[in-house]
Structure 1
């Protein structure tokens, strides 16, 4: 069951990279439309420095990538702990629900971004994450110390 538990984490890693590559794919053409040449940008300028110049829909991809670097930092170790301690079918299902909702959340934020729906998705994925955190804690705190 270890591989089944780790598979959702691997998919979320791949999805995060998809969202990472969406940033330059959408941002560079938008900057070019504004007459900003990325190759001639000032030294030390960061992407977020151009946010106020870009359309919000272009920035949504970057915002979502940032979100993928936040809450999933709890998901990844929870999944590893559960995989090491002995995942059950419910754990695997909760991990897939979390990842599925993260992908839907990403697509929603990147292309539609109605905040009320995005927040509902966030709450639903957080419930799945709370379950995974509970399982990680309970599997480790109440583990039989005599079992290797």
Structure 2
């Protein structure tokens, strides 16, 4: 038997993979247009791509990286909530809210990349994550 609370976790993982696909689909043509040959690259890093590729092509890569940062905390706290059996009610709403806000954040960053709405969405997702963490702490302590 599994917890329905695992669904938001899987949804965010799936969204991260969507962003990975979008990043690849955007970056590969941008790299070709910039004359970058992957076979000749040795030891490069993200900052090199930021200098060589158009900003809009990099926005998807930046967001993909962001989806591998704070959401790792979401996965951990979600596992605690699922294991503790407290993934219903408000915790389910908070988790789905977190996933929805992160998805909107991705769309903003990958398209228009305006900092003010991105920051507002990041702050909101952080508050949702903090609430989940508090509820997980209450469940296990």
Give the TM-score range, shorter chain: over 0.9
Question: Residues of 2 paired with 1:65 and 1:12: CA distance?
Answer: 12
Q: How does 1:1-148 map to 2 (within 5 A)?
A: 3-38=3-38, 40-87=39-86, 88-141=88-141
Q: Deviations over 1:46-103 (max 9, x none)?
A: 4542211111111111110111111011101111111111223110010000000000
Aligned-partner SS, 1:3:
coil
Give the paired residue count: 140
* Structure 2: gaps of 5 or more residues: none
* Structure 1: gaps of 5 or more residues: 142-148
1:144 aligned residue: none
Question: Residues of 1 paired with 2:8 and 2:79: CA distance?
Answer: 11
Question: TM-score, structure 2 length as denominator?
Answer: 0.92
8 Å contact 2:84–2:140 — kept in the other structure?
yes
* Closer, same or farther: CA 35–70 of 1 in aligned 2, 3 Å: same
Larger Rg, first or second structure (1 or 2)? 1
> What is the RMSD of the two structures over their aligned residues, measured on CA atoms?
1.6
Aligned-partner SS, 1:50:
helix
Question: Residues of 2 paired with 1:20 and 1:41: CA distance?
Answer: 23
Question: Residues of 2 paired with 1:36 and 1:77: CA distance?
Answer: 38
Q: Runs in 1 of length 4+ with deviation above 6 angstroms?
A: none
Question: Residues of 1 paired with 2:34 and 2:85: CA distance?
Answer: 53
